[in-house]
Amino acid sequence: MLASSGKTHLVPRRETSRYRLRLLITLLLVAYSVSACSPKSSEQLYENPLSGVSLEKPGNWDLAFYERSGTVVLEPERRIRNQGSARVEVIGGACHDTMFATPEEDMEAEIDRIRILYDLDFVTVVQHPTRAETGAYEVTKATIAIPTMSLPEDSVVNKVGDRGPDIFQTIEITAIRDRNRSFILAYVYRGNSDELNAEAEEIVGSIQAVCSKEQ
């Protein structure tokens, strides 16, 4: 018959404390990594009575308003921004009537303005203006492409990174009009990230006119 020695092997308290500390640090690092890499945070509502624009944006997108031009500019935060990032520009003046009879005329005039701005002989139209009813709004969309060589080297709207005669910056233009003919123009400068491009389109899709009767 075998006799028991009666001895029990215990893990020293110091080793147990070290193990727990290492485990806690590991869990904290994993949690931080997951939150830092999260592609999208909660939506934030933005309203600007000066431009008559309301929209929703992801919490990890920066927003700036340029009062002189009445333009709202949105880009991903610097920690996730790169040469492949997207950019959204929303032109204000929503509470003033447009001078054109139809959204298609508005869109054609805007495309021609871009052609003149970048001194181009023509603008490549990827998608011709298409109009659709969306709730209380009439939304007209068109997509164009301009050669990045026509943009300045440090241009903030070059979201594909490289410059060249055969490299194009795609621009999605959206004209939004309500029944009162309040008019908003929005531009999405698409980059190389499908995820950020999709978020930019969601921002544009959330745009509404906020015009008071006094305006």
Cα–Cα separations (whole angstroms), residue 49 to 3, 67, 211: 88, 11, 7
3-state SS class at 117 = helix
HSE-CB of 89 using CA atoms within 13 angstroms: 13
- Matching residue, tokens 């447009």: 98
Question: Using an 8 Å Cβ cutoff, are 80 and 58 in contact?
Answer: no
Per-residue pLDDT of the chain (215 residues; tens, 9 = 90+): 444 444 444 445 556 666 666 666 666 554 544 444 444 558 899 999 888 899 999 999 999 999 888 899 999 987 666 656 899 999 877 666 677 778 788 889 999 999 999 999 999 999 999 999 888 889 999 999 999 999 998 899 999 888 888 999 999 999 998 877 778 999 999 998 999 999 999 999 999 988 754 54
Q: What is the pTM of this model?
A: 0.76
DSSP 8-state class, residue 93: -
Structural contact between residues 207 and 53, judged by C-beta atoms closer than 8 angstroms: yes
